[in-house]
Each structure stands twice: as C-alpha cells, then as structure tokens.
Chain A
Amino acid sequence: MSKRGITLYLHVHQPLRVRDYSVFETASNHNYFNDPDPTSDRNNQKVFNKVAEKSYRPMNALLETLLAKHDEFKVSLSITGTFIEQAEQWAPDVIESFQRLVATGRVEIVAETYYHSLAFFYSRTEFEHQVEAHKQKIRELFGVETSVFRNTELAYNDSLAQWADEYGFKGILAEGWDPILDWRSPNFVYQPEGTKNIALLLKNYKLSDDLAFRFSNKAWQEWPLTADKYTEWANASIDEAPLINLFMDYETFGEHQWQETGIFDFFEDFVGRWLKNPDNTFYTVSDAIEINKPVGTLSMPSTVTWADAERDLTAWLGNSMQQEAMGYLYSLEEDILRTNDVELISDWRKLQTSDHAYYMCTKWFTDGDVHAYFSPYESPYDAFLYYMNVIRDLRWRLHETHRTGGLRG
C-alpha cells in the first residue's frame, strides 16, 4: 500500500492594480498601472516589495530549508504571469529563489492562465492563448513542462475539465465542496464527468481554510492552532483515505497570516511532525495523480470556485458593474488582436486579471462589513470608475491609432 500523502499546493499571484485613472487622462495618457504616488495602495511596486518582504522571501527560504531537511517534502506552485513580470522588474532575487526550489525536482509548477483571468467564461481562443503563454513563460524561466491545470479562483465545471482533458493535461484542481461531494470525501482522486484521461484533485477546504483564513483568528475556538492539534486533525481526516489536498494562496504565509502569528514556525513544525510517521509523505499534484487511481467520476455542471460561502463567481461577476466592465473588455477582443499592437494587446490582457472585477464587488459593502473585503480602493465604485476610464482609453487607442472600433458601445 502506498503512503498517505499531503498534496500542498500554493497559489502565487499579484495583479497589476489600476491607478486612480481619471477621465481627464483618458485619451491622452495610456499609463494605467504605474501609480507615481509612492504611498498609494495602487502602487504595484510598493505592494509587491511589501509582500516580497513579508511573504515571498521568508517563505521561499523556509521551503528551501524544508526541502533540504526532509527528502519526502514536496510542494506544488502556480505562479501567474502578472506576478512573474512584476518580480522580474522589482525583485529578481525572488524569481531566483523560485528557480532554486524548482531545481530540486520536488517542486512542481501548475498550469493556469498567464493573466489570472476568467477568460474561460468569455472567450475560448483567448483563454487558450493565455494557457499557452503561461506554459511558455514557465518553460523559459524554469525549464519545466506543466501537466496539471488550475483555473483562476479554482473556477471549475465539467466543460473546463473536458477542455483540459482534450488539451492534454493529466490533472486538474477544484474545490471539494460538500453540496457537490455529498457523502464522498475530497481525500480521493476522481475522474471528471465526460473525460478520458484526466484526474481531478479536490481541495480539502476545512483543513486548508484552517490555515488560510482561521489561523490567527483569536475568536476561533481552536485558536491558537498548534502543529500537534493540526497533525491530529490531518490524521483523523486521512483515515482510510490516500491523501489530503491542502490548496491555498501562497501569501497565506506571511501576508494573510503575518509572521507574528507564528505561521512559519507552525508550518515548519507541522511538516516535521507529519513526516515523523513513516506511513506519511508529501505529494506533488502529479504524484498524487500517478499514485492514486480515480475512485469514481464526479460531475460539476455549474461553476464552483474556492471563494465565499457561495463557492461561485458572484464575487467577480455578481453585480451589474462587474458584468458591464467585463462585457466591454471582452467585446474589444477582435479589434484589439487585429491591431498587432503589442502594448495595446498586453494592456488589454492585464485588464483581464480577475482581481479588477473583484475590487468592484459590492456583496459585503452595503453590510458595512468592509473588512471582509480586500481591496486597494476606497470603494467598489471607485474601482469601477477608474477601470471604465481605462476601457474608454482602450477604445480611444483603437479608434485613433488603428482606425478600428467606435468610441461608444
């Protein structure tokens, strides 16, 4: 019998936030992403440097240590194109540390859209382009091929799985959401409905979110969470099952949960405790799929994400502003691509990053629960305002420079 494994998968991402871009700059200044104000929360360089200091540098150092110390420790990472571009510009040492991790052969890179977009739901050709662009970038930077796919925000449905299967991916990631799983456990490998060769790994959201969301919450009855207690929970969860999929944002370590909360020490401690039991190991996502055969098929006709109590796309596309903004953006696809204007196309793609739509979310805003809402803008309306001015500027560039498209529509 094979060992019981934890599949730890961390998602590394930074968007390019739109600065306070006013209508008076529209049609005259095409710089959307570089906020000159060094104190602004929309200053991407400032944010990147802050998170690099708090999370990327210390966590990569810890991962290196753990890889050196424990032969069986493994981890999978998805790293977005918008992250890589910013790191190359402002923190090349962070790129190098990721390269060292991958060079150990025990760190797998997971495929996704280069721009962390929701293009799958708008344009299949654009979506495929971004998947290919990401593969290419990973190849260049790390010299590896990706073979397991995750979609932005873990947004998943049967047709995505079928697409990934035909595209040649051997695995795909999704949320292990109770209403879908029913009596089934997320701690097994499944086969997506209507596919031939692809396997499905499901996030164990209880154990994942204990770290990602609850770790430092003093109102939580389990606070403070010790490595001992967490190891116990993991043992209880994996009983009779082959694996536990812990999927979360990389920035959980150091950014969402600050160093002061003890998250790094906790993690180091936990890895040691888990591996102390000779029956236990860690899997990369590819290992998990190769070692464990699917126990059955699973169908998710409607889109499931890893966000909110609803586990749907409403945080990104739930209100009319979000739908309008994304609708306008994707409606420009043909005109933009036809121009072959590299900068214009790149700007258009950077605007597809799902975070832009997330910042326009009003779900929690009217409840006054603004703390539940993570945004660099004062309000979702501000986010929408600046974004729409940018859309207008894209139209202007099409109209002025390339004589295509109208200014309205």
Chain B
Amino acid sequence: MLGWELPPHNSGGLGVACYHLSKALAQAGASIDFVVPYSAKHENIDFMKIHNATKLSPLDRYGMGAYDSKFAIESQPGSEVKDVKDIRGVQRHYTKYVERLVQREKFDAIHAHDWLTMEAGMRAKELTDAPLIVHVHATEFDRAGGNQGNPIVHEIEYQGLMMADRILAVSEITRQIIINKYGIPADKVEVVHNAIDVESFNDGYEYDQRTYKYLEGLKSEGYTIISTLTRFTIQKGLEYLVRAVAKANSKYDRIALLLAGDGEQRDELIALASELGISDKVFFTGFVRGKQWRDAYSVSDIFVLSSVSEPFGLTALEAAHHNNALILTKQSGVSEVLSSIFRYDFWDIDRLADQIVGIATSESLRDSLKENVSYEYARLSWHDVAATCMGIYKHHSTGVFA
C-alpha cells in the first residue's frame, strides 16, 4: 500500500481514508506493508507494517502537496532535507525506497493512492509484475478548482492511470473526470465510495458546550449554527458559502457561520465577511483537531460542503454522525450516496441561501433531515470497501493470494 499520510500525521481526508481502508483490509485477512514518505510513530496502528521512506519529519510533509501542488518544502530547522528540496525530491526518495522494498519482499498487489505515489507504483509493477491498483481520491483538476492545474502532475496522473491494471475512483464524479479528462477506458475505472467507521467515534467522546461557548449562547437565543470544516482553498467554494450566508441573513438574521479550518484563503474570507457586513456572524477557528474538531461538528446544526469540485467529502459523513442537517454541492461525490440532504450547484448562492433559511425557520425540516440522514450514512461501511478491494486483488493477482 503506497500512501502519503496516516493519522495523526495527516492534514486531510486522504490519510483518514487510507487508515480505515487498511484497517478493514487487515480485518479481511490482508497482510499490508504501508509506505509513508516521512518518519514518525503511529502508535495507534498495529494491524499493518508501516515503512518510513525518508527521515523527514511529518511536519515537512505538510508542504508535500497531498492537497495542493505547491512544490516547495518549508523545512523545519534541524530536519534532514539535503537533496529533498521539493516534493519531486521526496517522491524520488519514496520511489527508491519502494523499489528496494519490492525486490526484498514479495507482494501480490500494489495499491497506490493518488498522483503522489503513482510513480512508485509504476516502478513496483515493472519490477515485480504484481498488479497495480490506482486509487484516486483527487485529481489535479479537483485541486486546481476545475482548472487544468500543474502539467507535470497531470502527466504523472495520466501515466499512472494508463499503467494501472484497475482504477478505483471515490465517486462517479471522479470516475467521469478520469474517463473524460484523462481519456481512460470507462471499463477500467470502478467507483468505490468512501465510508465512515462509526466505531472509531465511540471513544467516550462527549460534547463539551464550553468549547464554543459563544455559539452556544447564540443557540440558546434561537440561532441556527451553520458550519463547514475544511481547508480554505479555492477548491472548497467558501466564497460562495459566505455570500450565501450574507444573503440568507438578509431574510432571517438568527444564523451564524462557523468556518473551522485554515488555508490560503482565510484573509480573503475575513475581508469578504466584513465587506458583506456579517463579520459578527462569521467565526474562524483556525486548524482544529481532537476535541475542538469534534465539538465543531457538535455545536453545528447545518453542515455545508461547498466544494467546487470534491471527489468525495468525508466531512459530510462525519457531520451527519454529529447530528447535522446536510447541504452539499452537486459537485461533491458524497452527495451520490446520500438522499436525505439538500443539494445545490456550488455557484448557486440564492438556492443555498434559500435552503439555509428553510432549515433555520422550520424545526420539522431540520429534524427530518437530521434524523433521516442518520440512517443513510451509517450504512456506508469500510468493510464493504475492503471486500471490493480484496476481490480486485484476487482477480488481478497472477499468483496465489494469501
């Protein structure tokens, strides 16, 4: 398994998906060697062997482009960077490590996640003849907010997709991008939606009202809290969300917006909220994890996934688990697996505003959405995803699969 991050050293959904997929695969009987491009302890992982391809710290890899194509690494003082000046350097080291690994040990299948590990995957396939399964969580088109993006990344993706024996896409939206933008034959690409591990949330967590005390104060005065939890990049469509909240506010003012996360667009969004005259209603948390992260979901009534292009959107399932009504863009893969939600086109500010006001002003609508989606998300299981992957490994494996 070739990945780029695992919790707790992840900065987004890729690491979470890899973690749960691997765990479910291990439970289904797979023996997994998982390669990450950094050195760190994963004390919570005992179901597979983790390989550290470089001695870089995970902090270095936050700049390593899992979510954007920024190539420079802002190295931490004292860390070992030397020739790994940019992400291409890290990838070269990563690939070399994988080459040595597959020559040392025998593998029945190579499962590579996203463009970051595709070159290593292709080399592993060349050296071993094991089938290459490329798992696409996001393409350069998504990261570039619908634009062409970085041509080098695009080229690596194209080669990886061409070389793959089987391609897994996290949604039909992503599958269509792979077919239409990369010219890959449709019958080679299969949709395997992400899931949610409900069990992992049952860790004794209890909502702490003090974390977002002011918001709780607003709620007690009848306010509805709208939230999103994401990186503040153009791909996420947050400008439209802020504009829609301002528009909704002009019809019904007992609403507030919680923007949990951080990113390059933060200052722009702060300025926009002020320009629209709703600064007192928009709350910025900065990057949140742990309790603050879960409490952000818990304090919220409506979770909006506003992405311009979102291959899946795991946060929507997490929000549903924390009793939110969901509003998702039609451009989000996760909206393919849920019915009891509102959908809108990412640019349709009026519709989003209308949906927000509708939920904020009707208890029965809010409760119906919350309750009915709670039956839907819980049906999505990583065990089903793992079973699909096991079937694919077996189908493409030349040797006997153990």
Contact = CB atoms under 8 A, between A and B. Distances in A.
Nearest to B362: A388
B340 A381 contact: yes
Interface in B164-197: none
A22 interface: yes
Interface in A338-390: 362, 365-366, 368, 370, 378-379, 381-382, 384-385, 388-389
Interface string B321-354: 0000000000000000001111100000011011
Interface string B347-372: 00011011101100111110111001
A319 interface: yes
B264 to A, nearest CB: 32
A379 B340 contact: yes
A180 interface: no
B376 A24 contact: no
B340 A362 contact: yes
A381 B367 contact: no
Contacts of A133: none
A290 B341 CA distance: 53
B159 to A, nearest CB: 38
Interface stretch (A168-176, A295-303, A320-328): A320-328
A389 B355 CA distance: 11
Contact of B367 (A22, A320, A382, A385): A320
A320 B364 CA distance: 5
Contacts of B339: 365-366, 368, 370, 379
A23 interface: yes
A24 B251 contact: yes
B375 interface: yes
Interface string B368-393: 11001001100000000000000000
B361 A365 contact: no
Contacts of B247: 24
B365 A321 contact: yes
Contact of B342 (A323, A368, A381): A381
Given A365-B339, A365-B372, A370-B339, A22 B354 contact: yes
Of the candidates A22, A323, A324, A370, the one having the most CB atoms from chain B within 10 angstroms of its own CB is: A22
Contact of A23 (B340, B342, B354, B364): B354
Contacts of A323: 364
A63 to B, nearest CB: 40
A388 to B, nearest CB: 6
Contacts of A388: 358, 361-362, 365
B362 A324 contact: yes
Interface SS of A by simple majority: helix
Of the candidates A320, A368, A381, A389, the one having the most CB atoms from chain B within 10 angstroms of its own CB is: A381
A379 B354 contact: no
B372 A362 contact: yes
A368 B339 CA distance: 7
Nearest to B250: A24
Contact of A366 (B248, B340, B355, B365): B340
Interface string A303-325: 00000000000000001110110
A24 B244 CA distance: 12
Nearest to B375: A366
Contacts, number: 71
A257 to B, nearest CB: 27
Instruction: Report the contact-size class of chain B (Cβ under 8 Å from the partner).
Output: 20 to 34
Contacts of A379: 339-343
Nearest to B374: A366
A366 B372 contact: yes
A384 B372 CA distance: 15
Contacts of B341: 379, 381
Given A321-B365, A324-B364, A365-B372, A378 B343 contact: yes
Interface string B112-129: 000000000000000000
B372 A385 contact: no
B204 to A, nearest CB: 29
B86 to A, nearest CB: 45
Nearest to B248: A23
Contact of A384 (B351, B362, B376): B362
B130 to A, nearest CB: 37
Contacts of B361: 388
Contacts of A368: 339, 376
A362 B368 contact: yes
Contact of B357 (A23, A320, A366, A381): A23
B160 to A, nearest CB: 33
Contacts of B363: 324
A384 B365 contact: yes
Interface string A24-35: 101000000000
Of the candidates A324, A385, A388, the one having the most CB atoms from chain B within 10 angstroms of its own CB is: A385
Nearest to B330: A378
B340 A385 contact: no
A192 to B, nearest CB: 35
A365 B375 CA distance: 11
A164 B55 CA distance: 86
Contacts of B353: 23-24
Given A362-B340, A365-B339, A24 B354 contact: yes
Nearest to A20: B351
B246 to A, nearest CB: 13
Nearest to B367: A320
Contacts of A319: 364, 368
Contacts of B375: 366
A385 B367 CA distance: 14
A320 B370 CA distance: 13
B358 A389 contact: yes
Contacts of A384: 358, 362, 365, 368
A381 B368 contact: yes
Given A388-B358, A388-B362, A321 B342 contact: no
A384 to B, nearest CB: 6
Contact of A321 (B251, B354, B355, B364): B364
Contacts of B369: 381
A22 B343 contact: no
A321 B368 contact: yes
A378 to B, nearest CB: 7
A389 B375 CA distance: 28
A24 B350 contact: yes
Contacts of A382: 342
Nearest to A320: B364
A323 B350 CA distance: 27
Interface of A: 22-24, 26, 319-321, 323-324, 362, 365-366, 368, 370, 378-379, 381-382, 384-385, 388-389
The 10 A-B pairs of least Cβ separation, nearest first, read A320-B364, A385-B358, A22-B354, A324-B364, A23-B357, A366-B372, A321-B364, A23-B354, A23-B251, A366-B375
Given A320-B368, A370-B339, A388-B361, 7 more contacts: A22-B354, A23-B251, A23-B354, A24-B353, A365-B339, A381-B341, A388-B365
15 contacts: A22-B350, A22-B351, A23-B252, A23-B354, A24-B350, A321-B365, A365-B340, A365-B372, A366-B340, A366-B375, A384-B365, A385-B342, A385-B358, A388-B361, A388-B362
